[in-house]
Structure 1
Amino acid sequence: MTAHIRIEQKIAADHRAITRLEARVSLLTEQLPAIVEAEAAAEAAARDEALRKRAEACRKANAVEAKQILAEVDKLSSRLGDHFARLKEIGDETNSVNQALHTNPVADRVTCYENLYRSPRAGLYEFPFSEIILPPAFSGGKQHWPRR
């Protein structure tokens, strides 16, 4: 075989390959919109399923977990209200004793717990317990502080 025939055969083979590749490109170009649409639909379905799972987890957290947490908050708030009530009693008694000592100074004035343990410092504000509000954990429940 001569070089000329081999080159013509090679050119013919290359033309067939190019024709096959062009046909494949044409087919893929035709299929691309459907593939893109299918992928978008699959992504949307995955997002929808993820949102459904989140909604179910959120529903469970609200219905079950939050109820347990609120019951614990109610229990702890009640105990904290008891402590605030006792601190108020101590503060009221301290004020009463100091007023009596003012008119009858038989002993040194009593330093209140706020000055002993919560002394005001420059640039620091300690929120007073008397201004704290501990609401009921459940609707219609008892407010824990301030107590009425």
Structure 2
Amino acid sequence: MVFLQKFFGGKSVATSTMILSAIERSELEIAALKVKLDGEMADVATMTDAQHVAAEAGNAATKRAIARLDGAIARLSDELPKVIASEEAAAKKAGDEALRQRAEALRKAISKDVGALLTAVDVHASKLGDCLARLGQYAAETNAINAELRHNPVAAPVVSYDTVHRKHPDQEASEHRELRDVWVHHDGTMEPAKRDSNGELIRPRCTFDRVFGYYPEPKLERREIVVRRTSHRPGRYEASLSEIFLPPGFAGGTAHWPRE
């Protein structure tokens, strides 16, 4: 770690990202110095003695610079696994602490907040149970009165509250008409006129008429015909309220619905 502090100018913490960046920069510098090294002695054949001495001095300085960078890369590469291991350990420690704090917070919430929520569940479920009980009374009274009216029809049957309030509207049967070209056969039957890929009308096959004894040609006319129909569909009901089950909020409590 002393090497890392010295290398990065006294910074107390050297991260793996910093080390990787430093290795990459050093490798790029070495590549550039090697190009320079090749160029320093390229013209040795035409150098004077003084120029040759200067070139060799520069060459030696470049080699020393490369050696220093190689040494730095070796030391950084040696320190990198240690730093990564330290960062992973720190991240795990932080993650463990965050999980511990979440678990502790949840234990406190379950102890306090959830108890209040379950109390509210009991209060509201009890009120809902009262509503369901009253609806059950209306349903039973409807069945009883309609049973009597079947034997003594002094009034129209009473429609159940499910039908009045909990049934979606029926879809009535309908048909859509449009003016279209049709072939009208001699017996009054019609069929829509169709066209081929060139837009020419396709004449339908003639049907034999036993009375006339020949095949009358169909006539092309423009008439209003039904192009789309929908059938009657009864509206659906919402799920039955009698299927609701309202358990107690706390262990040992009494179910709010159905009630005994």
Q: Amino acid of the residue matched to residue 88 of structure 1? A: G
TM-score of the aligned structures, taking structure 2 as reference length: 0.53
Point out the structure with max Rg over C-alpha: 2
Segments of 5+ residues of structure 2 without an aligned counterpart are 1-48, 171-233
Q: Deviations over 1:13-61 (max 9, x none)?
A: 1111111111111111221221111011011112111211221222123
Aligned partners of 1:60, 1:135: CA distance in 2, in Å? 25
Give yes or no for the alignment of 1:114 onto 2:114. Answer: no
Say if 2:167 and 2:235, in contact at 8 Å, map to a contact too: no
Matched, 1:134 2:182: no
> Residue in 2 aligned with 1:7?
55
Which structure shows the bigger proportion of residues in helix conformation?
Answer: 1
Tell me the distance in 1 between the aligned counterparts of 2:64 and 2:100: 52
Deviates more, 1:136-145 or 1:103-112: 103-112
Q: Percent identity?
A: 45
CA distance in 1, matches of 2:97, 2:164: 58
Q: Report which stretch shifted further, 38-47 or 116-125.
A: 116-125
Taking the aligned partners of 1:123 and 1:22, their CA distance within structure 2 comes to 83
Structure 2 partner of 1:60: 108
The AA in structure 1 aligned to 2:162 is: E
Counterpart position of 1:43: 91
Q: In the TM superposition, what whole-angstrom CA distance separates every residue of 1:85-118 from its partner, at most 9, and x where no partner exists?
A: 0100111111111112222222221111011111
Whole-angstrom CA distance in 2 between matches of 1:111 and 1:123: 15
Give the 4+ runs in structure 1 shifted more than 4 A: 120-123
Task: Give the aligned CA root-mean-square deviation in angstroms.
Answer: 1.9
Contact 2:146-2:157 within 8 A present in 1 as well: yes
* TM-score, reference length from structure 1: 0.90
The offset of 1:123, in angstroms, is 7.6
- Comparing 56-65 with 89-98, greater Cα deviation is found at 56-65
Give the count of matched residue pairs. Answer: 148
Residue 191 (structure 2) pairs with residue 143 (structure 1)? no
Which is strand-richer, 1 or 2? 2
- Larger displacement relative to structure 2 (7-16 or 118-127): 118-127
Higher relative contact order (CA 8 A, sep 6+): 1
Question: Is 1:104–2:152 an aligned residue pair?
Answer: yes
